[in-house]
Structure 1
Amino acid sequence: MRKTVRQMIEIIVSDGWYFVRQSRSHKQFRHPVKKGVVTIPDHGKSNVLDHFVVNSILNQAGLK
């Protein structure tokens, strides 16, 4: 279940998350209702995320 950074951003944005800030190679998103921040690593060269990272992002977003 490997996904690209762009695919993960599309998934969480479609759930209502919006971009807040970027700290070096990590993009952070907030939701108007859900608590917390979702962090997506974007290291440029390798934009394919391992399935462990994908699962972690989905858990942070409350989608899994």
Structure 2
Amino acid sequence: MKYREVARKLKALNCQELPRRAGGSHRKWFNPNTQQSSVLPDWGNRDLKVGTLRSALRQLGIDWDVFNKT
């Protein structure tokens, strides 16, 4: 799954992308429901690894099944 698809789903789940303070290929996300944050790589057209995505969702307090149904 590409970063844009993940970002669209996270926004639908009420998560917010925090403003970037510097350059780089990673973006920080915040879940206001759980008060938790995580970092996701933005590799453009390259797919994110499933383990990386699942780990970030776990850190945000989002269930994998809920994320896939969004």
Tell me, yes or no, whether TM beats 0.5: yes
- Which TM-score applies when normalising by structure 1? 0.74
Runs of 5+ in structure 2 lacking a partner? 64-70
Task: Give the aligned CA root-mean-square deviation in angstroms.
Answer: 1.7
- Greater fraction helix: 2
Give every structure 1 segment of 4 or more consecutive aligned residues whose post-TM-superposition deviation is greater than 2 Å.
none
Please, which runs of 5 or more residues in structure 1 have no aligned partner? none
Query: How far did residue 50 of structure 1 move?
Result: 0.9
Structure whose residues are more often strand by fraction: 1
Q: CA deviation at 1:8?
A: 1.0
With a CA cutoff of 8 Å and minimum separation of 6, indicate the structure with the bigger relative contact order: 1
Quote the sequence identity (%).
20
Instruction: Give TM-score scaled by structure 2 length.
Output: 0.69
